[in-house]
């Protein structure tokens, strides 16, 4: 609801002097209506700006109470149209609204919320009683206002100076802190760099010490092996029924010597194996592995070691198509099984295998002594044997050696054991060896295209791996007929050929190739596990060379291809 403004005061600007009166009255009206000091000055200044330019004008002060109380000042003058209304713009900045209509200017400014009709009435009464003062009075009021304004400006400036000083001090503090932190950071960095240098040096020293240890082990083992072998040989000679007869005591003593020497030789061999594995001198002989045969052989040879109360249960392994080193794999498993049989008095020693993704897992589990938790990490350390456990001979080298071999084969050996309940050792191996690391110094020999003819997919896969980086493309054939077809079609630069294949021997392909001018010149390498004495020399005459599958290594392939690429 809007309430019509009620007049509070009326006046006419009859002379120049009245501009001062207008200013003064404006301030008085503002004060009577409860405006604060600043607003009073605003109203007074706005009116004096306008009053200067409208001599003879009539000025009406009115106040509207109601929900949004406001002051309305109407300045009416017939001469308004001709005026340069610069003062109106100035007043506009001081009031809420300044509107110029036909012959009047209307200025509005909000009043405090509590101004009501009663307060407006009181203001009107107060103003009716007060009389305007002189120009001089108004000038002194203005002066006072100016002084007050100046004081306020000064106070603001002082406060600003104070704030600036504080800010500068804070800045200095921040800079000091920053410098200190930077220095600390630099010092820490230097420390870290020094630490790393020391670490590098330490690990170089460790590496050297480790290499020295491996060299020492290898040398000592070699040196020990010769005399021990001699002792065994000589003892055998003495015990030979064809030698001079011995007393039964002498025979008994020599039996003991022979037994001890055999033990000693076994230990020395353990040492030598480990030294070789550590120095990386064992290079796996990759080849397809018949897991069932390996498991069968281990079952057969180790069963006699089991105590009567222990069952050796070797499961049938899955047909995994594993490509690895049969000898090394057998050594690892024999080691694990021998330990299990050694440390199990009753129950079972079992071995089983399964495939998961691209890996084969073989677990050897027993229901034996188990290994105390505190010792579990240490049993893979060289020479470590569990203290307090039954002394069962051994060197403490079996497990570290097995783990080394597992690593060499691209796999890992892990263990879980519950003291008193038993242990499970799990070997995980990649089904296929990773692309072999090339340790050749020079560049690899290069051929455009190779053909591999072999019925065994694992063997083909192995060759493909061994040819990585050497042959631009590798084609595969699973039998002689498709081998010939591919050879004629693709003209490979080299052929790797298996001998024993269902549906036709490799020798037939050799003969067929030799009979066709087009392909007769392609070098063929025979790679076979077959017994070569089964073949006549002329059957293999067209082969560039014959390689036993066991000797098929990266090195061998590099050398063979280098021979033809030259
Ligand atoms: P060792 O030649 O003494 O058998 P290993 O390195 O093979 O050397 O084993 C180290 C030690 O780990 C063994 O002496 C034995 O205390 C403990 N150990 C290994 N395998 C087993 C097992 N299956 N059950 C209980 N203890 C075992």
Find out whether 522 and 492 touch, Cβ atoms under 8 Å: yes
Give tens-digit pLDDT for 277-330: 766 667 788 888 999 999 998 998 888 888 999 999 999 999 888 989 888 999
Q: Is 389 in the pocket of ligand 1 (CB under 6 A)?
A: yes
Distance CA(409)–CA(402), nearest Å, equals 11
Cα–Cα distance measured from residue 249 to residue 259, given in angstroms and rounded to the nearest whole number: 15
* pLDDT score, position 189: 81
Residue 395, ligand 1, Cβ within 6 A: yes
- 176 Cβ contact list (under 8 Å, min separation 6): none
- Give dist(CA 433, CA 141) in Å, integer: 104
State both tokens at 108: 């509005």
pLDDT, the chain, mean:
86
Q: Rounded mean pLDDT of 270-275?
A: 76
Confidence at 490, pLDDT banded by 50, 70, 90: very high
CB contact at 8 A, 449 and 473: yes
Whole-prediction pTM: 0.46
pLDDT in tens, 517-532: 889 999 999 988 777 7
Cα 323 from Cα 461, distance rounded (Å): 9
**Does 494 score more than 50 pLDDT?**
yes
The H or E element spanning position 426 is strand 422-430
Give, in degrees to the nearest 5, the angle at Cα 215 between 210 and 217.
95
Q: Which atom of ligand 1 is nearest to the CA of 401?
A: 6
Model pLDDT, residue 185: 84
| Ligand 1 touching residue 366 (CB < 6 A) | yes
Q: Answer whether 394 contacts ligand 1 (Cβ < 6 A).
A: yes
User: Six-digit token pair at 227?
Assistant: 């005399």
Residue 46 is predicted with a pLDDT of: 92
Is the pLDDT higher at 83 or at 19? 19
How far is the C-alpha of 139 from the C-alpha of 350, rounded, in Å?
A: 116
398 lines ligand 1 (CB under 6 A): yes
Per-residue model confidence (pLDDT) at position 346: 94
Query: Which residue did the predictor score with more confidence, 383 or 33?
Result: 33
Q: Which residues pair with 324 in a beta bridge?
A: 287
The Cα 399–Cα 382 span in angstroms is: 8
Atom of ligand 1 nearest to the CA of 368: 24
Report residue 246's pLDDT band, with 50, 70 and 90 as the boundaries: confident
Query: Which mutation among 266, 346, 377, 379 tests ligand 1's pocket best, with the greatest number of atoms within 8 A of CB?
Result: 379
At residue 367, does pLDDT exceed 70?
yes
Of the chain, the percentage scoring pLDDT greater than 70 comes to 95
Question: How far is 546 from 497, CA to CA, in rounded Å?
Answer: 9
**Does residue 133 register a pLDDT over 50?**
yes
Most confident of 102-116, 162-176, 235-249: 102-116
What's the mean pLDDT in 454-483?
88
Indicate whether 1 pLDDT > 50. Answer: no
Using CA atoms, how far residue 339 sits from 350, 367, 395, in Å, is 12, 12, 12
Distance 339 CA to ligand 1 centre (A): 6
For residue 88, list its beta bridge partners: none
Q: Which residue CA neighbors atom 21 of ligand 1 most closely?
A: 339
pLDDT of residue 390: 61
User: Does residue 214 surpass a pLDDT of 80?
Assistant: no
- How far is residue 363's CA from residue 313's CA, in Å, rounded to a whole number? 12
Substitution site in 385, 395, 404, 416 for ligand 1 pocket (most atoms within 8 Å of beta carbon): 385
Tokens of 30: 């503002």
Helices 18-32 + 117-129 axis angle, to 10: 140
Residue 14 host element (H or E):
none
Which residue owns the Cα nearest ligand 1 atom 2? 394
Tell me the pLDDT tens digit for each residue of 54-84: 888 999 999 998 889 999 999 998 877 656 6
Domains of the chain in sequence order: 6-132 (3.30.565.10), 287-430 (3.30.565.10), 447-565 (3.40.50.2300)
The protein residue whose alpha carbon is closest to atom 19 in ligand 1 is 339
Distinct helix (H) and strand (E) counts, the chain: 14, 17
Q: What is the pLDDT of residue 435?
A: 60
For residue range 421-455, what is the model confidence (pLDDT) as tens digits?
Answer: 999 999 999 998 876 555 555 678 889 999 999 98
Question: How far is ligand 1, taken at its centre, from the CA of residue 409, in Å?
Answer: 22
Distance 385 CA to ligand 1 centre (A): 6
Going by alpha carbons, the residue nearest to atom 8 of ligand 1 is: 396
pLDDT of 345 > 80? The answer is: yes
Give which of 341, 354, 269 is closest to 308, Cα–Cα.
341
CB contact burial 320-345 (16+ within 10 A = b; e otherwise): bbbbbbbebbbbbbbbbbbbbbbbbe
The per-residue pLDDT for 2 is 52
332 against 19, higher pLDDT: 332
Cα(336) to centroid of ligand 1, in Å?
9
Q: Work out the average pLDDT over 394-407.
A: 85
For the CA of 399, the nearest atom of ligand 1: 6
Contact, 57 vs 107, CB < 8 A?
no
């Amino acid at each position: 609801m809007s309430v019509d403004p009620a007049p509070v005061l009326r006046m006419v600007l009859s002379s120049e002097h009245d501009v001062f009166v207008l200013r003064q009255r404006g301030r008085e009206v503002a004060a009577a209506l409860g405006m604060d000091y600043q607003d009073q000055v605003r109203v007074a200044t706005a009116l004096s700006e306008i009053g200067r330019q409208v001599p003879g004008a009539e000025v009406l002060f009115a106040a509207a109470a109601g929900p949004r109380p406001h002051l309305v000042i109407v300045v009416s003058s017939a001469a308004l149209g001709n005026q340069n209304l610069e003062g109106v713009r100035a007043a506009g900045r001081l009031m809420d609204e300044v509107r110029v209509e036909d012959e009047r200017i209307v200025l509005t400014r909000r009043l405090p919320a509590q101004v009501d009709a009663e307060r407006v009435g009181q203001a009107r009464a107060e103003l009716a009683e007060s009389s305007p003062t002189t120009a001089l009075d108004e000038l002194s009021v203005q002066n006072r206002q100016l002084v007050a304004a100046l004081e306020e400006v000064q106070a603001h400036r002082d406060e600003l100076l104070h704030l600036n000083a504080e800010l500068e001090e804070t800045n200095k503090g921040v800079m000091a802190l920053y410098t200190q932190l930077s220095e600390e950071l630099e010092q820490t960095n230097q420390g870290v760099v020094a630490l790393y240098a020391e670490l590098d040096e330490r690990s170089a020293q460790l590496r050297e010490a480790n290499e020295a240890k491996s060299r020492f082990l290898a040398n000592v083992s070699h040196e020990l092996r010769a005399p021990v072998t001699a002792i065994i040989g000589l003892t055998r000679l003495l015990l030979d029924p064809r030698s001079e007869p011995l007393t039964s005591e002498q025979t008994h003593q020599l039996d003991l010597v022979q037994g001890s020497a055999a033990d000693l030789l076994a230990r020395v061999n353990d040492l030598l194996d480990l030294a070789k594995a550590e120095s990386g001198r064992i290079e796996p002989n990759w080849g397809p592995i018949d897991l069932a045969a390996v498991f069968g052989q281990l079952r057969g040879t180790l069963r006699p070691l089991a105590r009567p109360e222990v069952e050796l249960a070797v499961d049938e392994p899955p047909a995994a198509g594993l490509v690895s080193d049969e000898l090394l794999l057998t050594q690892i498993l024999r080691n694990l099984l021998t330990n299990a049989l050694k440390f199990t008095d009753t129950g079972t020693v079992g071995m089983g295998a399964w495939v998961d993704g691209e890996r084969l897992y073989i677990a050897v589990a027993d229901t034996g002594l188990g290994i105390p938790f505190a010792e579990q990490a240490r049993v893979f350390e060289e020479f470590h044997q569990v203290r307090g456990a039954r002394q069962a001979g051994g060197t403490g080298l079996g497990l570290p050696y097995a783990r080394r071999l597992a690593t060499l084969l691209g796999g890992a050996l892990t263990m879980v054991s519950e003291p008193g309940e038993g242990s499970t050792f799990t070997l995980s191996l990649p089904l296929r060896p990773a692309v072999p690391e090339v340790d050749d110094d020079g560049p690899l020999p290069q051929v455009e295209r190779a053909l591999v003819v072999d019925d065994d997919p694992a063997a083909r896969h192995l060759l493909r791996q061994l040819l990585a980086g050497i042959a631009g493309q590798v084609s595969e054939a699973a039998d002689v007929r498709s081998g010939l077809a591919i050879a004629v079609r693709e003209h490979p630069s080299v052929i790797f050929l298996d001998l024993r294949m269902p549906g036709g021997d490799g020798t037939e392909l050799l003969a067929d190739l030799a009979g066709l001018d087009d392909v007769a010149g392609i070098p063929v390498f025979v790679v076979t596990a077959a017994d070569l004495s089964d073949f006549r020399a002329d059957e293999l005459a067209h082969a560039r060379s014959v390689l036993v599958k066991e000797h098929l290594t990266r090195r061998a392939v590099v050398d063979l291809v280098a021979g033809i690429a030259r």
